Amino acid sequence: MPEVEVPLEKWTGKVNEVRLGGNGRQAVVVGGEATFPFLQFEGAIPNRPAVAIEVLDVQPTGWPSQLAAAWGNVLADPALWAKKAAEYGADIIALRLKSAHPEEGDTGAEEAKKTVDKVLAAMDLPLIVLGPEVAEKDNIVLVAASEAARGQRIALGNCEEKNYRTIGAACIADGHVAIAKTPIEINLAKQLNILLCDLGVSPESILMDPTTGALGYGLEYTYSVMERLRLACLTGDGMTSMPMICTVGEESWRQKESKSDIEVPATWGELEQRALIWEEMTASTLLNAGADIVVLRHPKTVEAIKATIDKLMG
Amino acid sequence: MALTGIEIYKFLPKTNCKKCGFPTCLAFAMKVSQKGVDITVCPDLSPEAKEALEAAGRPPIRLVTIGGDKRKIEVGNEVVMFRHEKTFYHPTGLMVRIKDSAPAEAIAKVAGEVAGYSVERVGMELALDGLALENESKDAATFVACVEAVKSKADLPLVLMSSDPAAMGAALEKAADGKPLIYAATKDNWDKMAELALKHGCPLAVHEAAGLGELAQLVEQINGAGIEDIVIDPGAHGFAQSLATLTQLRRLALKKSFRPLGYPIITFPGESSDTVEAEAVLAAQHVAKYAGIVVLDHFSPSMAYPLLTLRLNIYTDPQKPIQLTPKIYEIGAPKPDSPVCVTTNFSLTYFSIAGELESSGYPSWLLVADTEGLSVLTAWAAGKFDAEKIAKTVKDFNIAESISHRSLIIPGRVAVLRGELEEELPDWKIMVGPPEAMDIGGYLKKMWSA
Ligand code: B12
Ligand code: SF4
């Protein structure tokens, strides 16, 4: 029968492999792809993308009821929540130290350390710790988290232009991975990676967060910047070769489409399914753009996206 | 792809005989490239040159139209692998399958629902594009009855699905004026299906799952029968296989100008999905990764709306955000004592806040600043939505003339601008609205008394 010769790209670069956990905890390695997402006919994809579940250190307020109900009373305790998340199939726990935000309790280093200790003890998955996204407070609580988890190879985020030095230094000192977050811009992403490497963080200890726009709320920008970053990586640019992490759950559950049942057009359809599809579609689309870790919120999304990843990996 | 004058010149006789009315072959070639004159005006063009020119000028993925004069869609003619390289031009057609063995009421219901479905987003009406009618009963009369029932309910482009040329022929007698897509020609029936496509002037889908080589061979046979309006179905199922196959097809068309597979692709994500959500997610992948038509097995608004939103996202031109003209927009019928809000001219931003103001029960004046199509925070971070710009917007559009108060509500996400704005607009009271548009109703109820 006739053969068609499919054009293969000869990529010269590949995504760095980054290990989280290990040393007594479960280990997860992400990255390593030598081609575009899931194109196994062209290049090696040694590791599957990982699913992280987001855990907050304060009881979330303003979460849509179906999301809150899916977790029930564990929401009041990050350790129980993390344990439950592990049961629900998380590969990684992403702990957000939201209580450190000046408007959410303004907690400090002590509390951060306690929470991290508790969460680490409650389950044996690798951990990501995210600050409240207020640069000064991020510095304080992430350094505390770093010390608390010394040797456990957690990921600390976010390093931004303003505070990458402090967090980067903590990662070097305690053997962790730095998450470099930039606002949907390829040059800024590359620049921050360079700054971190100049500081002494090894390229194998950096994850990139390109900034997530949810479906209907900037998804297309994130999608394209991720494709461009991956293209740059595969064509040999080592400073864009870090695995990518996307905060899908946080962005998609914030949107009106995931929250509102009243005063929305009937053509939006039933809320429960719409909201789940919103998170799933944001996640799956970004996985197809090159996400190596997606941070999710709803257990059903976790289940669906894990099944999707299984199928994509073949 | 359009050829340059020089490329066209290479194919001309180069005798400068002037029979075309141009002084030289080169001058003629230049004019052809600008589409100012047709290539056939040169009487001495060799048939081989003509064919080569035609082939070279053809888009790598053919543009195929489905549907009649009233409602039709165009799919194909994409020119890039990644949307950032240029843009994706022809949004994937989203259709819903109806099986003719379903009860008549169910058929009528789905047809009516799909045809009537339309949802507004950023000022645009998003709708589904058609219905795919499948001859599951294997009975021609049942198929025809289904076609007629659907046509009476829905004026949408159709895909007619049957492997039986007799049933297809009978259905086409009723539906050919709507130029449906005939699905599908296969190894076993292609000559008869090709005949039907020619007779009725309808596009033809070609289905062959054995491999791309086999598919290409079948397409060439059908080309040989004089058919060019083709949609291909490589029979790729599931997430991994369809991603690989559709990527390979796009590459073959764009990178190797491989003509036999340079056609839009049709997919059926429901066939390999065990839940409606999984079908939606796979359909989304097909929208982003290279399908021309996606036929869904389920329809519900809660699945259609995210999918249509995704299609809008993926097919938006990355070079220019959807934006609107900066000016004063009147929401409802505002009066001199109605609230005044300011926002940016990014469509998504405008429609978020405009929609909420509309349902808040407070007619309002909405000042839209020129931020070159950027959202509130993006524009603020880029220095295009600062106190100076807002003050200038207030003054330039002279909103003061229409109102009896001097209160201005700014988006909560740029609360930091308040102080500076108070300096820029000393006569005004600056009010900081909520960060999220959906809370504006509650905010006005509590805070607004002019
Ligand atoms: C998509 C996006 C982009 C796109 C642009 C999209 C566009 N057309 O605007 C691109 C990739 C181009 C981009 C670029 C940049 N971006 Co940007 N971007 C985003 C992203 C992901 C989403 C923005 C969005 O579309 N939101 C949706 C719209 C509808 O939101 P909105 O306009 O705020 O409107 C809401 C409310 O404000 C409210 N509202 C609107 N109007 C009004 C009016 C009133 C009266 C009220 C009460 C409420 C209200 O209603 C809406 C719904 O609730 C955000 C991060 C995020 N996840 O949100 C970053 C973000 C906004 N970007 C950011 C930055 C820094 C930039 C850049 C400056 C980066 C750079 N240095 O190059 C550039 C600037 C652009 C330039 N130089 O030209 C930062 C801003 C940081 C900050 N807090 O200041 C953000 C927050 C990302 C981050 N965390 O760092 N960005
Ligand atoms: S008619 Fe043809 S050959 Fe003669 S000048 Fe024109 S292009 Fe050249």
* Total residue length of chain A: 314
Q: What is the DSSP letter of A85?
A: H
- Contact across the interface for A313 and B240, Cβ inside 8 Å: yes
Confidence of residue A207 (pLDDT cuts 50, 70, 90): very high
Tell me: pLDDT of A1 over 70: no
Query: Is B255's C-beta closer than 6 angstroms to any atom of ligand 2?
Result: no
Distance CA(A36)–CA(B170), nearest Å, equals 46
Residue numbers in B near A38 (CB within 8 A)? 239-240, 243-244
- Total residue length of chain B: 450
Flag residues of chain B having pLDDT under 70.
1-2, 450
Ligand 2 in contact with B12 (CB < 6 A)?
yes
Of B238, B287, B277, B235, the C-alpha closest to B128 is B287
Tracing tokens 């710009």 back to the chain, one arrives at B389
How many Cβ atoms are within 10 Å of B4's Cβ, its own excluded? 11
**B119: closest CA among A222, A66, A254, A257?**
A257
A218 shares contact with chain B (CB less than 8 Å):
yes
CB within 8 A of B435, min separation 6: which ones? B411, B412, B413
What are the φ and ψ backbone dihedral angles of A297, each rounded to 5 degrees? -120, -45
pLDDT for B70 equals 83
Indicate the Cα dihedral angle B319, B322, B325, B329, nearest 10°. -160
Question: Which residue's CA is the closest to the ligand 1 atom numbered 78?
Answer: B382
Whether A2 is covered by a domain: the verdict is: no
* pLDDT band (50, 70, 90) for residue A83: very high
SS3 category, A44: coil
**Averaged pLDDT of chain A:** 96
Three-state DSSP at B396 gives helix
**CA pair distance B51, B70, nearest whole angstrom:** 33
* Shortest distance, CA B166 to any CA of chain A (angstroms): 30
Residue in B214, B301, B303 nearest the CB of A2: B214
Does any domain span residue A14?
no
| Ligand 1 near A185 CB (within 6 A) | yes
A283 to chain B, minimum CA–CA distance in Å?
Answer: 9
Q: Is residue A16 part of a domain?
A: no
Q: Which helix (H) or strand (E) holds A38?
A: none
* String of DSSP letters for B314-340: HTS-TTS--B---SEEEESS--TTS-E
Residue for token digits 């249509």? B308
Instruction: Please report which residue ranges of B92-211 form alpha helices under DSSP H.
Output: 104-116, 140-153, 165-175, 190-200
DSSP H helical segments within A200-255, as ranges?
Answer: 219-234, 248-252
Please state, in angstroms and rounded to a whole number, the distance separating the CA atoms of residues A54 and B295: 35
Place of tokens 């962790």: A176
pLDDT digits (tens, 9 = 90+) for B138-187: 999 999 999 999 999 999 999 999 999 999 999 999 999 999 999 999 99
Domain with CATH 3.40.50.11600 in chain B: 328-447
- What is the residue type of A1? M
> What atom in ligand 1 is closest to the CA of residue B409?
45
Residue A278 touches chain B, beta carbons under 8 Å: yes
Q: Relative to the alpha carbon of B11, which ligand is closest?
A: 2
Going by C-beta distance under 8 Å and a sequence separation of 6 or more, which residues neighbour residue B232?
B205, B206, B215, B219, B249, B261, B263, B264, B265, B266
Task: Report the CATH number at residue A259.
Answer: 3.20.20.20
- Whether residue B212 and residue A4 make contact (CB cut-off 8 A), yes or no, is yes
Minimal-distance CA residue to ligand 1 atom 61: B378
Provide the chain A residues 22-61 that lie in CB contact (below 8 A) with chain B: 36-41
Token pair of A305 as six digits? 């996206």
* Distance between CA atoms of residues A217 and A119, nearest Å: 32
The answer to whether residue A1 sits within a structural domain is no
Contact assignment for B300 to A227 by CB distance below 8 Å = no
Closest CA to A223 of A184, A192, A250: A184
Other CB atoms within 10 Å distance of the CB of residue B150: 23
Phi and psi angles of residue B367, each rounded to the nearest 5 degrees, phi first: -85, 125
User: CA A131, B412, A222: angle at the middle one, nearest 5?
Assistant: 55
Q: What would the DSSP string read from start to end of B338-388?
A: S-EEEEESBHHHHHHHHHHHHHHT--EEEEEE--TT--HHHHHHTTSSSHH
Is A51 a domain residue? yes
Query: Do the chains contact at B277 and A223, CB–CB below 8 Å?
Result: no
CATH code 1.10.15.40 region(s) in chain B: 5-56
For chain B, how are helix, strand and coil distributed in percent, rounded to 5?
Answer: 45, 15, 35
CB spacing of B248 vs A265 below 8 angstroms: no
Instruction: Give the three-state DSSP class for B72.
Output: strand
Calculate helix-pair angle for B165-175, B140-153, nearest 10 degrees. Answer: 30
Residue of B nearest to A288 (CA): B285
Amino acid type, A209: D
Residue B65: strand, helix, or coil: strand
Rounded Cα–Cα distance for residues B303 and B60 (Å) = 32
**CB distance B16 to ligand 2 below 6 Å:** yes
* Closest residue in B to A185 (Cα–Cα): B378
Query: Crossing angle of helices B301-314/B276-288, nearest 10°?
Result: 20
Could you tell me if residue A225 is inside a domain? yes
Beta bridge partners of B266: B293
CB contact (8 A) between residue B318 and residue A220: yes
Query: In Å, how far are A19, A179, A219, A246, B164 from A169, measured between CA atoms?
Result: 18, 13, 32, 23, 70
For B328-447, CATH gives 3.40.50.11600
In a domain, residue A136? The reply is yes
* Nearest CA, atom 72, ligand 1: A185
Question: What's the CA dihedral at A280, A286, A291, A297 to 10 degrees?
Answer: -30
Containing domain of residue A152, as a range?
A: 21-30+38-313
Q: What is the CA radius of gyration of chain A?
A: 19
Burial of A121 (C-beta count, 10 Å sphere; 0-12/13-18/19+): exposed
Regarding the domain with residue range B5-56, which homologous superfamily does it belong to in the CATH classification?
Answer: Electron transport complex subunit B, putative Fe-S cluster (1.10.15.40)
**A152 in Cβ contact with A21 (< 8 Å):** yes
- Tell me the CA–centroid distance for residue B5 and ligand 2, in Å: 14
* Residues of chain B with C-beta less than 8 angstroms from the C-beta of A228: 82, 84
Q: Does domain B64-314 have CATH number 3.40.710.10?
A: no
Contact indicator for B179, B68 with CB cutoff of 8 Å: yes
Tally Cβ neighbours within 10 Å of residue A137.
Answer: 21
Q: Which of A277, A278, A314 sits opposite B240 (nearest CB)?
A: A314
Write down the pTM of the prediction: 0.92
The full 3-state SS of B81-114, as one line of letters, equals CCHHHCCCCCCCEEEEEEECCCCHHHHHHHHHHH
Q: How many CB pairs under 8 A join A and B?
A: 161
Residue A175 carries which DSSP code?
T
In angstroms, the CA A105 to CA A53 distance is 23
**d(C-alpha A111, C-alpha B51), whole Å:** 76
d(CA A149, CA A151): 6
Say how many Å lie between the first and final Cα of chain A, rounded: 26
Ligand 1, atom 38: nearest CA belongs to which residue?
B437
Tokens of residue B275, six digits: 């839940």
The verdict on A162 touching B (C-beta cutoff 8 Å) is no
- Find residues 233-262 of chain A whose CB sits inside 8 Å of chain B: 256-257, 259-260
8 Å CB contact between B176 and B200:
yes
Q: Based on the number of CB atoms within 10 Å of its own CB, is B405 exposed (0-12), middle (13-18) or buried (19 or more)?
A: middle
Residue B52: predicted pLDDT: 81
Within a domain: residue A5?
no
CA distance B356 to B412: 15
CB B431 within 8 A of CB B350: no
Rounded to a whole number of angstroms, the distance from the CA of A239 to the nearest CA of chain B is: 20
- How many domains, in total, are found in chain A? 1
List all residues of chain A from 96 to 125 with a beta carbon under 8 Å from chain B: none
d(C-alpha B167, C-alpha B174), whole Å: 11
